[in-house]
Amino acid sequence: MHKIMALDIGTKRIGVALSDYLQVIASGVVCVERNFEALTRIEAIAKENNVAKIVVGLPLNMDGSRGEQAQDCVNFASKITGFEVVYEDERLTSEAAEENLRSRKIDFRKNKSLVDIESACIILEQYLENKDRASSAR
């Protein structure tokens, strides 16, 4: 079995989370600066961790349409090679990530990378839950 990776792609940073081999638990891994090395770094992390699928958070507008940010994520993700790439609606994950960190008494105001990593975890958790629901409905 392979792990699944999730990405929270922002304009400055990319939060990265990984599942366990059973694809049940999501763990935050790292935040990658979004620069010319980001794609190489993400692909290297995926290879090192035996990832088969990469879930990319898609920041849809509240009405479900794709805006500029969503298109930016798709453009970045389209350059990922060697892995299956799927998209997961990530509306409101940043707010949920901040709330999760606050509830654990983690001060993220000076380190926004923590929010990006937590957001990637939420994206992956949502994907894993939806995948489980879909397979149990069969």
pLDDT at position 84: 96
Burial class (CB in 10 A: 0-12, 13-18, 19+), 9: buried
Q: Which tops the pLDDT comparison, 113 or 110? A: 113
Are 99 and 114 within 8 A, CB to CB?
no
pLDDT at position 138: 46
User: Mean pLDDT over all residues of the chain?
Assistant: 90
The gap from C-alpha 89 to its chain's centroid, in whole angstroms, comes to 10
pLDDT tens-digit readout, 52-83: 999 999 998 888 888 899 999 999 999 999 99
pLDDT at position 134: 60
The gap from C-alpha 68 to its chain's centroid, in whole angstroms, comes to 18
Total domains, the chain: 1
Q: Supply the CATH number for residue 76's domain.
A: 3.30.420.140
Give the domain extent around 104: 3-136
Mean pLDDT confidence for 99-128: 87
Report whether pLDDT(35) > 70. Answer: yes
Helices (H) and strands (E) in the chain, counts: 4, 5
